Amino acid sequence: MRFVRAAVLAISLLATARTASAQWILVPMDRVQANHLRAYGVTYWVLQQSQKAEWLLNYRGGSFLLPDTPGVRREAALRGVSIEPMDASAEARMRATVAASNMEAVPLERAPRVAVYTPPNSEIWDDAVTMALEYAGIPYETVWDTEVLGGGLSDYEWMHLHHEDFTGQYSKFFLTYGGADWLQDEVDRNQEMARSVGAPNVPEMKKRVATAIRAYIEGGGFLFAMCSGTETLELALAGARVDIAAAYADGNPADPDASSKMDWGRTMAFTGAQVQVSPTVNAFSDIDSHQVNTPWRKELGAYTLFDFSAKFDPVPSMLTQNHVSVLPDFYGLTTAFADNLLKPATVVLAHEGTWAKYIHGNLGEGTWTYFGGHDPEDPEHQIGDPPTDLAAHPNSPGYRLILNNVLFPAAKKQTLKTD
């Protein structure tokens, strides 16, 4: 009898161990989540540990399914992230719901290596993506022109463009900040960089950088850009010759026929734009719908995320996961994109009336995503404003869109190949 009881006890303990090992932790991403932004950091941490995770598209705001381990529980507690233990029965019910609805469970396989293209003197709070990465606890490295032109992007799966002006006009800040030391430092640094890489001037150097970024995407890289990094990258790829004003002229004067000489076959998102060559108008082109620093500036409204089929369109579904669908708009040097200038293959992820706020597309083996605006929680951001404190915005839906893009390359490759 003792032997039988011992055997029964052993079988019972083994069954218990198997049940425990099969349990999961659900990281809900609907309105019950205490800290949406750091939930991405917990998920990234799991992938760093070479553990598997799943992204439950359209299930409770795009929740994450993580292994139930002491480490995961510890990380969630340290970061203030809400979790819900899920036993085998609860998991079965969840999977039945996902299978029968406009939902999908996407495996996440590895933590993508992240690069932020940013000038050497930039501060963390200069850029919304850098702030999001820091707050979420997702590691990243910085690169600039030397690394890009030297082939260094091959070390990274995902790259973000700081709000750079790839036309070489220094965002036309000379109109307002011509005497500022910080702007002169930026000019001196860029001109020295151009000399060091053998470029005749800064606009030509930035065109080379833009071409290298395009090649990175074509070879399988994932690009995410915001603010002026979107519009000016495209203008540089199209070969815009623009005015950088007499104060900073370095052999590349304005070409009044610049728009007619553009090669839109090299761009990814836009075609047929009119370049703003006047040195007295603080705009790059008519791609930006709001023209924020001009007399014809458009007022902010709200933008709406499109609802995609998680089963048939998993990629745009991943990029739009959120706990709200209508978000307040926010300005940037490039705020949103004119619909009539989008290439036919461009996927609009969010729109504001006749303007596209958030767009995505493929190039070769890689993808690009553009998000208009500077800071989702600072609608009227101005130079010199205090930095945004994300601890005051842990549930920011705008910042969630940024972090969707960071995790996007972690998805299983078969998923990313579907269109």
Cα 359 from Cα 162, distance rounded (Å) = 17
CATH number of 2-108: 3.30.70.790
Q: What confidence category does residue 259 fall into, taking pLDDT thresholds of 50, 70 and 90?
A: low
Lowest mean pLDDT segment, chosen from 97-106, 170-179, 320-329:
170-179
Cα 169 from Cα 156, distance rounded (Å) = 28
Q: What confidence category does residue 181 fall into, taking pLDDT thresholds of 50, 70 and 90?
A: confident
Average pLDDT of the chain to the nearest whole number? 88
Query: In 118-263, where do the E strands start and end?
Result: 141-143, 158-161, 222-226
Task: Return the exposure string of 305-342: e unless at least 16 CB atoms fall within 10 Å of the residue's CB, then b.
Answer: bbebebbebbbbbbbbbbbeeebebbbbbbbbbbeebb
Contact 35, 79 (CB under 8 A): yes
| Max CA distance (Å), the chain | 98
Structure confidence by residue, pLDDT tens digits, 301-341: 999 999 999 999 999 999 999 999 999 999 999 999 999 99
pLDDT at 68 over 80: yes
> Which amino acid does the sequence have at 181?
D
Cα 109 from Cα 407, distance rounded (Å) = 10
SS3 category, 86:
strand
Nearest Cα neighbor of 132 from 34, 35, 25, 32 is 35
Every domain of the chain and the residues it spans: 2-108, 114-416
For tokens 């009898």, the residue is: 1
Entry pTM: 0.90
114-416, what's its fold? Rossmann fold (3.40.50)
Structure confidence by residue, pLDDT tens digits, 366-411: 999 999 999 999 988 777 778 899 999 999 999 999 999 999 999 9
Contact 36, 128 (CB under 8 A): no
Cα 233 from Cα 197, distance rounded (Å) = 19
Query: In 176-299, where do the E strands start and end?
Result: 222-226
Interval 203-222 mean pLDDT: 96
When comparing pLDDT for 392 and 163, which is higher? 392
117's enclosing H/E stretch is: strand 114-117
Cα 337 from Cα 341, distance rounded (Å) = 8
Question: Residues with Cβ < 8 Å from 45, sequence gap 6 or more?
Answer: 75, 137
Structure confidence by residue, pLDDT tens digits, 5-55: 444 333 333 333 433 444 899 999 999 999 999 999 999 999 999 999 999
Interval 118-146 mean pLDDT: 89
Percent over 90 (pLDDT), the chain:
70
